[in-house]
Structure 1
Amino acid sequence: MEKKPGEAERPISDGLPKTQPLTASQLRQNAAAKRMLRRLVQADNPPTAPLSIVDRLTGSPYANPMIQVPGVDTSARKTMDFALRLAESMFRYGAGALEVETSIIAVTAALGLSNIEVDITNQSVNINYAPQDQTPISLLRVVRSWTNNYAGLAKVHQLVTDIVAGGVGRDEAARRLDEIVRSPKPFPRWMVTVAFAVFSAMFVGVIGGGLGASAVAFASNLLISLLARKLGRWRTPDFFITAACSFVVTIIALLLWRFGSPVGVQIAPAIVVVGGILLLLPTGRLVSSVQDAINGFPVTAAGRFLSTLLTFGALVAGIAVAFVVGDRIGMEPIDVTETFPPAYPLWAQVIMVAIAVVAIGVTEQTNWKLLLPTAGVGVIGHLVLISAEALDIGTRFSPALAAIVIGLLARIVALKMGAPQLVVAVPAGLILLPGLTIFRSMYVLTIEESEILLGAGGMLSAGAIVFGVAGGIVLGDTLARPFTKGLASNERRRARRR
């Protein structure tokens, strides 16, 4: 068949439907769909690729450190020595493993060592530096002593912030760290002893004790403070120091119950004992151990948990021995179900809580500038606890809810004041611990043997509250992180201006 002039040549049909060419818009849509599908089925990095160590700084106050040394630092050993001394100081002052690790990574990265490895195991810190085609360096430091020095911990936190901001070199940082380690604590020893007793007196008033109970708690805590100091000079293990202190404060309360108090008013032993044992509880260590467990440091958390349980066991042992002695001298049975109505109005309780938190801050050697903000956080936590109990949320969940609020506010306040969260959270959260439950459970376990299951249940309930408070503080810290990125950057901008 001949083709007419001007007629286009038709392709021979193969019986398949004809397809129209895709438009530019359809091509872009197909490409976007392929990219989305690729993201769903393929990871950003190969599964076996190692993560960058600097990625551990995400979410911390030290994210995106300013690198001060281009390339590999030729004096890497000096930088690693400084980082280990920094880590040792933080551990001694009570910092958690995650805070120590992020501080080491931030400092070494800012000083030119970006490909180090950090391993923290309970009391030891190991740093390994293995640059390509160079001899690797591995250093280990073991921390063998601890001390109450939250002011020193805040200063170390500020030093790390200044280094990350690029305003402090290694030599200057080493000099400042020496000053921090050698500087005296903010408060003298006699003031710490008095603050220990003041906290006990104020807390006794908060939980329902009158002036007489507060006076007895004040005197007994002065005595156990002096006893602990004397036993410490004799190098007595902490377990026996804690047991001796809990025994003394309990036997004093039982003797006053048996023979009468000097003020002429019979004082319930539970009130006095609670005020005495609360500061003996290892609250800071417990919060750090829970934080380490949640943040992926199981060995460090296990070591701190064991130390915490030993201290808790020492408290229980001291109370139990005092009960046995009291029973042998003819102590009258105690009504452990007795409740204590508020002895003061709410406004007076708020003032006493504030004074008690300030006293805790003094015993922990907190910087004096942080005392009032910490007291404010503690008062808010106490009001949340009262509100939760009024709403009948439960005796276990109410302290945990208040601890979440304390943990959240503590991170915001601490970063604003240039300190780590632990410095504010631990003193503010101590008022949430169940001292009365511990006392009642130990009495039932030791004296009323027929009710041993009731006593064991009470101890489990007290343990649940203690761990709930610690976990709530850590959860509050985590919830506050999205709201504190700006505070961290502001802190670094202030450091650059200095």
Structure 2
Amino acid sequence: MGPRRRRLLGSLGSLVQVGSPGDETRALLVVDDALATRILDLAVRIGETMLVTGASASEVTLTIVRVAGAYGLDPVHVDVTYNSITAAHHHSGAARPITLMRVVRGSVPDHDKLQRIQALVAEVGAGMELGEAVERYREIRRRPFRYRPLVVICAQALLAVGVAVMYGGTWLVILLAFLGAGGAALTQFGLGRARVPYFFSQIAGAFVLTMVAAASPLLAATGWESAQGLRPSLIVASGIVLMLAGLTVVGAAQDAIDGFALTATGRILELMTHTLGVVLGILAGLETARVLGVGMDPPDDALPFGPVPLQLLGAVLIAISVAVFNGAGGRIVAVSATLSLVAWVGYLATTAVGFDVAAASGAGALLGSFVGIVLAHRLHVPSVAITIAAILPMVPGAAVFRGLLSVVAADGSPAVLLDGFGTLVSAAIIGISLAVGASLGIYLGQPVRSTLGTVVRTRARVRR
């Protein structure tokens, strides 16, 4: 081949060649309406399961967009409310958008299922085929709750034991707290099977718990030495923490801060309604006990905590109990127990410095949620699961009961009545501090978690 011919072929090759032979070839995704509907349906169903199992609205929204984008569906517009999810995708030049809506029917915390959903979303982002992702989602969706009802009821009763241990209760108080909380949990389980609204279930559970506590002084009348000096208020306080354990305080605060007004309003209204159920149940129990002649007198001072080792042990028991009756696996249980210690140490440290209970509770919740959000991604556990377990030991169950008892026993005395309402307001402030502290810890921890994740990925690429 002559030089002239080679130059001619080289010129023709330069006209045909686009990019060097080593350039990466990327396939253009062609998404028609049928495929777009399948992608959108999978993304919305994943979001629905996350919302039902306890995820925040912002996390659900980002997950739907992420799943749809992984299969080439972009942009996707998502609207999450308290009981529905709507997602829409509009093709360029199409006459109308593709829109799907799923109705969310109630909240059933299941942290094991939430953990599996998050793992599925990570695999989708890594390139899992759409058909395989759909099948995997169906398997996760059909999974039964991790624990049997008896285990869940025992875990709920163990939570009350943890509270009693934190306050330094005797073995008899701990036993009565276990029996009272177990009776309340069993009552709620039976009413749940009968499809009774949860509001009435809260009333019934709190009533049973209060009656057990009101009857406990009768043991002292028998002359039993171990029953002398029994504190019924500690039994009820232990149960109140159990009654409030399933409420979405952190989720409601997160949604309100993120700007999801409808979802936040729905969750706050649900929180208020279920808390009102507990209040009504306790009031009904106290009034019934008074009529039967076994009424309780309100304590003069707040219930004191026990020694620090017992406080730490009680916090761990509470965290483990919450993780178990929310369906968590072993990893979430272990992380929850560790974070409860972190949060409670933060609470003790701030109270030792001189902060009041509300500020110390907020500081403990902030520390626990901050450490939790940093560890959650690394350990592949849902942040909402471990955050709830970390802050629950600081729920002011004793203050709530003391305030209600003062209101019932006021008997027209303005001073006692005002003292009761003041105690209830203080308990509400502590609850708000817990929600705000936990939410702030989550937001402060997210950029730190992202930075640490980037560092880890960079180191992995350097090693390769």
In structure 1, list runs of 5 or more residues that go unmatched: 1-67
Give the alignment of 1:433-448 within 5 angstroms.
433-448=395-410
* Pair 1:222-2:182 in alignment: yes
Query: CA separation of 1:333/1:87 partners in 2, compared to 1, >3 Å: closer, same or farther?
Result: closer
Secondary structure class of the residue paired with 1:212 = helix
1:288 paired with 2:246, answer no
Change (3 A) 1:153 1:492: farther
CA distance in 1, matches of 2:287, 2:249: 29
How far did 1:356 drift? 2.4
Q: Deviations over 1:204-232 (max 9, x none)?
A: 11023121111100111221121111111
Contact 1:354 1:379 in 2 (8 A): yes
Q: Which residue of 2 aligns with 1:247?
A: 207
Contact 1:122 1:303 in 2 (8 A): yes
The structure where helix makes up a greater share of residues is 2
Alignment length (residue pairs): 427
Matched to 2:375, the amino acid is V
CA shift in 2, pair 1:80/1:185, >3 Å = same
Q: Which residue of 2 aligns with 1:15?
A: none
Query: Is 2:398 the counterpart of 1:470?
Result: no
Contact 1:149-1:185 at 8 Å conserved across structures: yes
**Given that residues 167 and 305 in structure 2 are in contact (C-alpha distance below 8 angstroms), is that contact kept between their aligned partners in structure 1?**
yes
Which of 355, 358, 370 is equivalent to 1:393?
Answer: 355
Report the equivalent of 2:37.
77
CA positional deviation for 1:250: 0.9
Secondary structure of the 1:396 match is: helix
Counterparts of 1:70 and 1:475, CA distance in 2: 42
Equivalent residues in 2 for 1:40-59, closer than 5 Å: none
**Residue 323 of structure 1 corresponds to which residue in structure 2?**
286
What does residue 415 of structure 1 align with?
377
Q: Which has the larger radius of gyration?
A: 1
> Does 2:228 align with 1:268?
no
Q: Within 5 A, what are the aligned runs for 1:95-494?
A: 95-134=55-94, 135-164=96-125, 166-258=126-218, 260=220, 263-281=226-244, 284-331=247-294, 333-343=296-306, 345-448=307-410, 449-450=412-413, 451-488=416-453
Q: Which residue of 2 aligns with 1:60?
A: none
Q: 1:229 to 1:271 in 2, by over 3 A?
A: same
AA partner of residue 467 (structure 1):
I
Deviations 1:50-94 (A, max 9, x none): xxxxxxxxxxxxxxxxxx984452210000111111111111111
Distance 1:495 1:445 in 2: 62
How far does residue 416 in structure 1 lie from its aligned partner after superposition? 1.3
Give the deviation of 1:108 after TM superposition.
0.7
Q: Which residue of 2 aligns with 1:48?
A: none
- Deviation of 1:121 after TM superposition, in Å, equals 1.3
Gaps (5+ residues) in structure 2?
1-25
SS at match of 1:260: helix
Kindly provide the amino acid, as one letter, of the partner of residue 387 in structure 1. Answer: A
Once residues 249 and 460 of structure 2 are traced to their aligned partners in structure 1, the CA distance between those partners, rounded to angstroms, is 32
Identical aligned residues as a percent: 27
How far is the alpha carbon of 1:351 from its aligned partner? 2.7
1:420-459: CA deviations, max 9, x gaps?
3101100111101100110011111222142322222222
* Structure 2 CA distance for aligned equivalents of residues 469 and 206 of structure 1: 18
Structure 1 length-normalised TM: 0.81
Amino acid at match of 1:116: V
Counterpart Cα distance in 2 of 1:379 and 1:69: 51
SS at match of 2:248: helix
8 Å CA contact retained: 2:219, 2:227: no
Whether the 8 Å contact between 1:406 and 1:473 is mirrored in structure 2 is yes
8 Å CA contact retained: 2:368, 2:438: yes
After superposition, what is the alpha-carbon deviation per residue over 1:297-345, rounded to whole angstroms, capped at 9, x for unaligned?
01110011000000010011011111111221223552422344444x4
Q: 322-331 or 116-125, which moves further after superposition?
A: 322-331
What is the CA deviation profile of residues 180-222 of structure 1, one whole-angstrom value per residue up to 9, with x for unaligned ones? 1112333222221111111211211102312111110011122
SS in 1 for 2:87: strand
Describe the shift of the 1:489–1:72 C-alpha distance in structure 2 as closer, same or farther (beyond 3 A).
farther
Q: Deviations over 1:88-140 (max 9, x none)?
A: 11111111100100000111111111112111111100011111212421111
TM-score using structure 2 length: 0.87
CA apart distance, 1:359: 1.6
The match for 1:90 is 50
Letter of the aligned partner of 2:446 in structure 1? R
User: How far off is 1:141 after superposition?
Assistant: 0.6
Provide the alpha-carbon RMSD of the alignment.
2.3
What is the letter of the counterpart of residue 254 of structure 2?
A: Q
Within 1, Cα distance between the matches of 2:164 and 2:106?
32
Q: Name the amino acid aligned to 1:73.
A: V
Q: Following the alignment from structure 2 to structure 1, what is the Cα–Cα distance between the partners of residues 38 and 228? A: 65
